[in-house]
Structure 1
Amino acid sequence: MLRTFVLAAALAVATAGAANAQSDLVKRGDYLVNTIMTCGNCHSPKGPQGDIPGKHFSGGLSWDEPPFKVTAPNVTEDKETGIGSWTDAQIKHLLRTGVRPNGVPIAAVMPVGFYKIITDRDMDAIVAYLRTLQPIKNKVPDPVYRFPAKSQTPPGAEKEYTAAMLKDPVKHGFYLATIGHCFECHTPMGPKGHDWKFYGMGGMEFPGPWGKSVSRNITESKTKGIGAWTDAQIKTAITTGVDKDGAHLKPPMGFGYYAHMTDGDIHDIIAYLRTVPAKE
């Protein structure tokens, strides 16, 4: 009788521990997806006031570019129009490689090249959070691929980071800036894609309902970049969309998402940005 009680108690403790671990993963995934990774910026449909309530992650922005014509897909748990029928391994494979379960590559607008750096634990957390999304039936248009175009990987992000590496503030800042694909927008494009010689120099144009925005130089240049900005001014720009001169930044900069990041994470991103060589 005592043995049965002990076994039952041990099983209850183990079950509670597993539940707590899963809860921690979901919380971490929620934080990553809804802050630095800004997934809803593309995957949630937009209305005049922003994301359409009740439709989060059910399919979003569209792009009609020379290589492809695509719409950000539904990533809710709907089995027919979302990813509810995918396995965890298939979701991770897509995020690591950009290849769907049916073997078809996704468009290069999805920054999977920046996701190679994601730790195993954070990848588990992202998938755990996606599994909590309410299934919403919404079929987006099928993609049209005109010619191959691969997502590029920025220098230093070619392989997965370890937990030990994230203890260093600058490396942690690089990690966050990379999974947040900041330099996807803040590095100019050439005929063959991003030209990493001009890493962080900005200059890409983004037309939209806001008019046309141009990505800023975020190198340490004191005249063209943010080298003359204080840490507080950089933090304000990241989290509120207001630059050091009081001008309001335009989308698709995801400052509404970054506003919910921890002070520690913002501090480390700024610490990393301070290391980006000046480019004019």
Structure 2
Amino acid sequence: MFSFRALMLVCACFVTLNARAADPTVIARGEYLARAGDCIACHTVPAGKLFGGGRAMETPFGTLYTPNISSDKETGIGKWTSAEFYTMMHTGKARDGQLLYPAMPFASYTKVTRDDSDAIYAYLLSTPPIHQPNRAHELRFPFNQRSLLYGWRMLYMRPGEYQPDTTQSVEWNRGAYLVEGLGHCTMCHTAINALGGNSPSKRFEGGLIPVQNWYAPSLTSNKEAGLGDWSIEDISDLLQSGVSNRGAVYGPMAEVVYDSFQYLTDQDIRAVAVYLKTLPARAGEKPAPATAAVAEQQTSLSPLGKKIYDAQCALCHASQGQGKLPHFPPLANNQSIQMTSSVNPIRMVLNGGYAPGTKKNPMPYGMPPFAQSLSDVEVAAVVTYIRTAWGNHGTPVSVKEVNTLRSAPLY
């Protein structure tokens, strides 16, 4: 028989757990952690209802639609328990045991502690219920067969909470936890292969973000993001405000800063910067010597590029590309301009853009688009010029590259 005393103990534990979940301090911490995990970016349609889901996620395999994670009991997670929520975060399995597609970064979220998972759960249950049924994914065969996910998980999923490195400082470990876990930075800054996975051997080496056609730079290389010679302060400024003395963020990273990083404490942002500074540089980063064809292309395009730069760009970025801080970043010795991939500077010239409006940079300056006023040849010329002038070591870009990106979707 189940004794009355045992029943009272169970009830007391149940009340305690629910009181803890409803504790305002727990909810506030959960909101902070949800910001760190950038949950809003995927689970809220722009200008839509908070956490109502339904945002289309275009992939090479078809379109995924993010689920409703509001407190609604029918279409959201209102009937989930904290244990079921943790299981989803930790294993990548839904409440009914169904395998989740890896657009949900569970391979990173598995590192989140149970306490942090419970806090996020408490926060989500405190949000207004949004009654919005989940939309079915639209994936091509055979990618719509979830059984294939077992193979993906064997290759790329390593479940387990983050284990601190006792040889490193508390600050370093906090940064590692945020970067490797909630921040899921490897999702963009590690190249995605044909199977939709990230190769561990290429962690943080950068790569093209599929479909979005933006390039996430390497965080291990001075040739790419250049964190090796960045100061902690410059990294922190870029992550938290969107601008720094070394440049500004645009494209998908601008959304990350706007929705997530600007809300983190100075201490957590510094911890992230400390951890990123210690990522090991990779061998073989020296640019390949220019071929005769590349040299000829540079020679033919640069004079036109200089003419366009002097007329259109020098007013803000200065005659020698030194920029006008803090609003207009330098182009000379700017490693984001010189990356192996020329996608980002081409897109910026074509489409323009703004750094995100943040608490520390509430009125960002932007760059106008030139797609309507410059031809493909002219865009190729000016991008070639800024990638090769003033001691920059980038390579020329082709007219074909510009033409391909002219019609790329704006994300």
Which of the five TM-score ranges fits, normalised by the shorter chain? Answer: 0.7 to 0.9
Does the 8 Å contact 1:58/1:136 carry over to 2?
yes
Gaps of 5+ in 2: 1-14, 286-411
> Counterparts of 1:243-254 in structure 2 under 5 Å?
244-252=245-253, 253-254=255-256
- Displacement of 1:76 in angstroms is 0.5
- Displacement of 1:183 in angstroms is 1.3
> Counterparts of 1:40-59 in structure 2 under 5 Å?
40-46=40-46, 51-52=47-48, 55-59=49-53
> Counterparts of 1:1-280 in structure 2 under 5 Å?
22-34=23-35, 36-46=36-46, 51-52=47-48, 55-67=49-61, 69-144=63-138, 146-147=144-145, 148-149=148-149, 150=152, 158-161=159-162, 168-178=170-180, 179-192=182-195, 193-205=197-209, 207-208=211-212, 212-219=213-220, 221-225=221-225, 226-242=227-243, 244-252=245-253, 253-256=255-258, 257-279=260-282, 280=285
Q: Counterpart of 1:81 in 2: which secondary structure?
A: coil
- Displacement of 1:131 in angstroms is 1.0
Q: Counterpart of 2:57 in 1: which secondary structure?
A: strand
Does the 8 Å contact 2:65/2:137 carry over to 1?
yes
TM-score between both structures, scaled by the size of structure 1: 0.80
Identity %: 30
Does the 8 Å contact 1:119/1:163 carry over to 2?
no
Per-residue deviation, residues 150-195 of structure 1 (Å, max 9, x unmatched): 469989x752246897971111110011221011110112234211
Q: Counterpart of 1:194 in 2: which secondary structure?
A: coil
Does the 8 Å contact 2:59/2:210 carry over to 1?
no
Matched AA of 2:272: I
Q: Residue in 1 aligned with 2:398? A: none
Q: More relative contact order in 1 or in 2 (CA 8 Å, sep 6+)? A: 1
Matched AA of 1:168: V
- Displacement of 1:77 in angstroms is 1.1
Counterpart Cα distance in 1 of 2:69 and 2:217: 30
Q: Report the number of matched residues.
A: 254
Counterpart Cα distance in 2 of 1:38 and 1:187: 18
Q: CA RMSD in A?
A: 3.0
TM-score between both structures, scaled by the size of structure 2: 0.56
Gaps of 5+ in 1: 1-13
- Displacement of 1:70 in angstroms is 1.6
Counterpart Cα distance in 2 of 1:108 and 1:159: 16
